[in-house]
Chain A
């Protein structure tokens, strides 16, 4: 498992500790290693398990018995696929020090063009996938070059690009958007089990780019301090282009699933940014969870946890509207409050644990 370039969210649980141990010559024995892996797995899975248990108790208390079923699990994992993909697209730019508003527009316009061309060409799902990725890369590159050549801040540049892409949704295909949800042969990648193909493609690409390419590793420097990174020789423009190509593939896969599952209408007034950022919660939760393993796993697990929450709220009849917003907001606030103090909690835990150990040692002597 790569350990080199992991974003340490707050220093609470980091694989970098293992690296430090190794550097200090502390080689873990087999037992310690098993304990370490178990601890990390437990910490990673704690979030979705906690959400599941809470929602299970709430649903059972309301007389809903089907929450703990295979069907729920299947639904949650399927829905988490798109959430994970879009969250990773947001996170990839975020990780590279950029806050990109155009991702949603790129995804929507790619889905509309790829979907309509595919529909007119016979409805092959493979063609839909290829075209979605090609258009995803194309529009991402347009954004990247606009950013490079305009030299305006990324937020302003991507908002402008978003407005341009959104206006295209009115100009193309008679402003009819995309509706192919019933074309069962064409939209297989929007459903289980084929939905996992674009998901695994994205996970593998993200892992490879982030941990096995020099460009991916340089991203950490750029996100840390862009000016210093550039002054020590990192070429930001190259990073922008490469990152946007990878992001284009991810958004293309997102477009494939989104267009397969939803009716897409023409968009305006930055509505595509709303679509994009409705998937942002797993990014922040994933960064925290990922500190126990790797961030990409953290985002995927966070997405599953959030889908357990969504599904549970649906079962309770508060999956939409004001109550859902209140519950979601309160949950996010509680989570951030917890994660911000995770370091203190860990220190407190360590102090209690070491005091207990010291007492045991004294008792033995």
Chain B
């Protein structure tokens, strides 16, 4: 009796295993047609993540792709390498990563072994770009805005001069982590110095020494240290690191010009001429910039190439949404993919992206132009 029971159990298990294996093979066979791409983002939630997922999933069918999303570690390179290995083992043919680091060459080694390609998204690959730009498995990256920070620094200086602020606090992150913020600082100072050279003494603008925030909120004593400032140029993420201290200390009369963005009403309701009128400038990169690495990957994986394909991996600037007034903010809130999460609000429709593929006659120049034509004026034009 016991023997026959054992036999039955063994037969049942064997049949179950066969069914399972068959199902797996069928699933693999079906999935094999699609190009699987692993997308590593540095955040696990928030509007940017939601919008990125929605955008890519919206493109998936038309591009015959499927996407696997993972969150990269901001502190552990080794973890990121393990993540890349897992994605490759899971069948990904391409990887889009938002982070560079010491392990990027090692990740590319893994890619080489498996015939998988890597491309960057909102990351300048400053750590490894020079050594990997000729690696055949690295297909380039789209930068978070401009690679250099001069243009935005100049732009904010022009606003400060035009709006009549006289004592400006300067805040940024440390250079070892954000080297290009020094360029914003330099361009800003040069523009202000240029203005001061011809301005009357009463109109001259005073700048504080640039303070470096060690990824901690601005300290409360800042306002005792700098009692006369009437505006702050925060090259760092001022919404998270500067604005809370302004609020806490009742200093929202100081105008804040900052990089970064938030969809939080607490921030948006105090922008421009609304609420406490503290925040005067917000800047963020478009989710649609991911089109660059995506198209580069799909081209390569499907064996197509642009007629003007670059000989080495490119580091391409992307246009940002720079919000300077309430009208622009309302437009962004209601019509940008980042805020609405709705694919129909994207700068590039599914057909636009398809047309950018090499197989459909797209070129590298058109692709670059596409990710550099997404500023606030383009958004206004797109929405009539």
Contact = CB atoms under 8 A, between A and B. Distances in A.
Interface in A68-119: 69, 71-72, 75, 79
Q: Tell me which of B213, B214, B248 has the highest count of chain A C-beta atoms within 10 A of its own C-beta.
A: B248
A66 B225 contact: yes
Interface in A208-238: none
Given A79-B220, A191-B248, A182 B275 contact: yes
Contacts of A17: none
Contacts of B44: 170, 266, 268
A268 B221 CA distance: 31
A261 interface: yes
A69 B224 contact: yes
Interface residues of B, number: 28
Interface string B257-277: 000001011110110000110
Given A263-B240, A321-B214, A183 B220 contact: no
Contact of A181 (B45, B46, B221, B244): B244
Chain B interface, DSSP helix/strand/loop, else mixed? loop
Contacts of B46: 175-176
Contact of B220 (A75, A262, A263, A268): A75
B213 to A, nearest CB: 7
A36 interface: no
Contacts of A321: 214, 216
A297 to B, nearest CB: 25
Interface stretch (A22-30, A46-54, A245-253, A312-320): A312-320
A286 to B, nearest CB: 23
B247 interface: yes
B23 interface: no
A180 B266 contact: yes
B219 interface: yes
Q: Tell me which of A72, A181, A262, A266 has the highest count of chain B C-beta atoms within 10 A of its own C-beta.
A: A181
Contacts of A190: 248
A124 interface: no
Nearest to B241: A263
A311 interface: yes
Contacts of B240: 263
Interface string B198-233: 000000000000000111100111001100000000
A271 interface: no
Contacts of A71: 224
Given A72-B224, A179-B262, A319 B219 contact: yes
Nearest to B247: A181
Interface string A252-270: 0000000001110010100
Contact of B266 (A183, A191, A261, A320): A183
A320 B216 contact: yes
A233 B214 CA distance: 53
Interface in A146-188: 170, 175-176, 179-184
A216 B305 CA distance: 75
Interface string B34-58: 0000000000111000000000000
B244 A263 contact: yes
Contacts of B244: 181, 261-263
A325 B240 CA distance: 22
Given A181-B244, A262-B244, A320-B214, A66 B224 contact: yes
Contacts of B247: 181-182
A182 B276 contact: yes
A321 B174 CA distance: 11
B267 A179 contact: yes
A319 B216 contact: yes
A190 to B, nearest CB: 8
A314 B226 CA distance: 13
B1 to A, nearest CB: 41
Nearest to B49: A175
A311 B267 contact: no
Contacts of A179: 262, 264-267
A170 B214 contact: no
A79 to B, nearest CB: 7
A268 B265 CA distance: 24
Nearest to B263: A176
Nearest to B240: A263
Nearest to B269: A182
Given A66-B225, A266-B45, A182 B220 contact: no
A244 to B, nearest CB: 30
B45 A170 contact: yes
Nearest to B213: A320
A182 B45 contact: no
A181 B246 CA distance: 10
Interface string A286-317: 00000000000000000000000001001100
Interface string B13-27: 000000000000000
A74 to B, nearest CB: 10
Nearest to A317: B211
B287 to A, nearest CB: 17
A181 B248 contact: yes
A314 B262 contact: no
A260 to B, nearest CB: 9
Given A191-B250, A314-B220, A320-B213, 7 more contacts: A71-B224, A182-B243, A182-B247, A182-B267, A261-B248, A319-B219, A321-B214
24 contacts: A64-B225, A79-B220, A179-B264, A179-B266, A180-B266, A181-B243, A181-B266, A182-B252, A182-B269, A182-B270, A183-B266, A261-B244, A262-B244, A263-B240, A266-B44, A266-B45, A311-B220, A311-B221, A314-B219, A314-B220, A314-B221, A315-B221, A319-B219, A320-B216
Interface of A: 64, 66, 69, 71-72, 75, 79, 170, 175-176, 179-184, 190-191, 261-263, 266, 268, 311, 314-315, 319-321
What are the nearest 8 A-B pairs in CB distance? A321-B214, A320-B216, A314-B219, A175-B45, A320-B214, A179-B266, A179-B264, A66-B224
